[in-house]
Amino acid sequence: YPYVTGTSVVGVKYKDGILMASDMGASYGSTLRYKSVERMKPIGKHSLLGASGEISDFQEILRYLDELILYDNMWDDGNSLGPKEVHSYLTRVMYNRRNKFNPLWNSLVLGGVKNGKKYLGTVSMIGVHFEDNHVATGFGNHLARPILREEWREDLSYEDGVKLLEKCMRVLLYRDRSAVNKIQIAKITEEGVSISKPYSLRTFWEFNAFRNPTVGAEGSW
């Protein structure tokens, strides 16, 4: 069972690669215990992994991947594991653990670019996996994906992509109780990975719907 958990991760494909966003919070049940947890990490040269769910399981996954990348580098054969391969590896690991009834309690988002081909995929804790133009975990599935379905287009520019992700993260911040207003946006392109410094989103709490949520339906929430 999960103890310390991270909330959603959202990822989109854009013109030059993949953009991924997550906040830096980790909750201990209903306490927002840790507020500087990096839930996105680069993997090898070509991939970026974001995780929600149990943080300790995420750290263990990072250890598995470290070993995987180490062996890949030791071959020294000019080939390096691309995002598709890492995704496949993670899928097998997650599926295997669920087969032993001891799952890694995470939902992972794996994005990357290799040889010009962009890849964005996700794996859940029971091994369900797929790739798509935009993915999200946890609450992001409910709140962010509808926004992305409406507003995602092929060949988003970097600025548009960031704006889109910020919009999703803002909605999550308003409506997900385990979200924290300290987010990072990670970008991965053919050149490599860059994870932004943490920053806060501007929020607006004076919406009429917030001030008066039950207008038209007194007595409801």
By the criterion CB under 8 A, which residues form the site for another protein? 91, 95, 98-99, 101, 103, 126-130, 132, 141-142
Nearer to another protein, 64 or 210 (CB): 64
**In this complex, which beta carbon is closest to another protein, that of residue 95 or of residue 158?**
95
Tokens found for residue 169? 């993260």
CA 179 to chain CA mean position, Å: 13
- The answer to whether 61 and 212 have CB atoms below 8 angstroms apart is no
Q: Whole-angstrom Cα distance, residue 137 to residue 75?
A: 34
Shortest approach of another protein to residue 95 CB, angstroms? 5
Task: Quote the tokens at residue 5.
Answer: 């958990």
Can you tell me the distance from the alpha carbon of 200 to that of 159, in angstroms, rounded to the nearest whole number? 17
Nearer to another protein, 94 or 162 (CB): 94
In the bound state with another protein, the residue whose beta carbon lies nearer, of 99 and 214, is 99
Please, what is the minimum distance in Å from the beta carbon of residue 48 to another protein? Answer: 20
- Is residue 89 within 8 A of residue 61, CB to CB? The reply is no
Least distance from another protein to the Cβ atom of residue 117, Å: 17
Q: In angstroms, what is the minimal distance from the CB of 20 to another protein?
A: 17
Nearest distance from C-beta of residue 163 to another protein, angstroms? 24
CB of 98 to another protein, least distance (A): 5
Could you tell me which of 115, 121, 123, 117 has the C-alpha nearest to residue 135? 121
Residue closer to another protein (CB basis): 34 or 95: 95
Q: What is the DSSP letter of 196?
A: P
> Which of 103, 112 has the CB closer to another protein?
103
Cα(117)–Cα(122) distance, integer angstroms: 17
Q: State whether residue 218 is helix, strand or coil.
A: coil
